[in-house]
Amino acid sequence: MVSDRTQVISRAYRVLDENSGAAFRASIFITPEQTIWAKLIYPRNIGRNLPEHVRLLEAFKFAAQTGKGVPANWLPGQPGISTSPENIGEL
């Protein structure tokens, strides 16, 4: 969580509503190598879902450790899926 009073960060990540001067509610997941892995943007009147953020972080960790993909609605402790292109259409 960061403060962005000068709007430099919100402009850089393209989450600033230039008309109102306010940033959208955004969560940006960045790797130590400075790669954006996920960017979630919510309307200002909708709160963020922190359990989903935790699940997303756990999914990143799981995928990095196992090399497997993470299907929709995956929860920690569940198996992953193969990311092989040979399996396209088989899952």
The reported pTM is 0.74
Residue 39 has pLDDT above 70, yes or no: yes
With respect to residue 24, please indicate whether it lies within any of the assigned structural domains. Answer: yes
Structural domain including 57 reads: 49-80
- pLDDT value at residue 46: 86
Assess whether 3 and 24 both reside in one domain.
yes
Surface-to-core class of residue 26, CB atoms within 10 Å of its CB (0-12 exposed, 13-18 middle, 19+ buried): middle
- Per DSSP, the residues of 12-47 read HTT-EETTTTEE-EEEEEE-TTS-EEEEEEE-TTS-
**Number of separate domains in the chain:** 2
Surface-to-core class of residue 88, CB atoms within 10 Å of its CB (0-12 exposed, 13-18 middle, 19+ buried): exposed
With respect to residue 68, please indicate whether it lies within any of the assigned structural domains. Answer: yes
Assess whether 5 and 25 both reside in one domain.
yes
Assess whether 6 and 39 both reside in one domain.
yes
- pLDDT value at residue 91: 61
Share of the chain above pLDDT 90, in %: 56
